[in-house]
Amino acid sequence: MNLEADFLIAVGEINENAKDIETLKAEAVSLIDLTLLNENASSEALDALMKKANLYHVAAICVLPQHVKAMTELTGVKLATVVNFPTGNHSLAETLSETNQLLSNYPIQEIDYVFPYQNYLQGREQEALTHCQQVYTLCEQQKITLKVILETSAFPTLESIYDVSCKLIDNGCNFIKTSTGKTKQGATPSATFAILKAIEASDIHCGLKVSGGIKQPAQAFTYMCLAEHVLKSNVNKAWFRIGASSLLDELVNPPAH
């Protein structure tokens, strides 16, 4: 398998003009996990985020655990938070305890969990995979969607991203997510392609969430078209998400002249 070459072929085959721009914009809005992961976020900013999520009917809203309690009036929008975030270095006991507490106290429907990628890349693969599997089991028992954040920029090759994605899908997860958005590089089309090829190769259903640096509509459209091209299925929020903070404004506000 030569994922670099396959990626370049796929890029050449994608027709981003197959849908008109307004259709793409409307689809993109419905796929957004509207995100605010700033420890210093004010109550006003959190309230504005919640109102915006409700107004535009995004897929989900994603905030830090300490801000979940401010999300009191979501209508038809999933509530998500993060655990083992952002480094992926919390112990299994800490991560399970944090997750359990959050699920017990708040109406959370989705967890964005950072895979212990540093341990994995340092040779402690099984330990990292077991950590993830335990969190998935806890979420599955409570019918919570688990999105596993890879931090793709930490992986040396597309093949290594493909390999870990295959293992995570077999291990158990509902979505694989590219990035925390807290490192220098977030999502890239090539890393996303590697995850998509792993999803394509598996008999187990798994979704994809792209995140980290997706600020412009054109970027979102590229990922949407790439996902549809590889998996031969129209994107929808059941299996495809875009994690973003400012993208929504770019999609719904007319460009300034």
Write out the catalytic residue numbers. Answer: 112, 177, 209
Token pair of 10 as six digits = 């796929």
Token pair of 216 as six digits = 């412009």
H-helix segments, the chain: 3-13, 21-31, 43-56, 92-105, 117-121, 125-141, 158-171, 189-201, 217-231, 247-252
Question: Measured over all CA atoms, what is the biggest interatomic distance in the chain, rounded to whole angstroms?
Answer: 54
Contacts of 220 (CB under 8 A, 6+ apart): 28, 31, 214, 242, 244, 247, 251
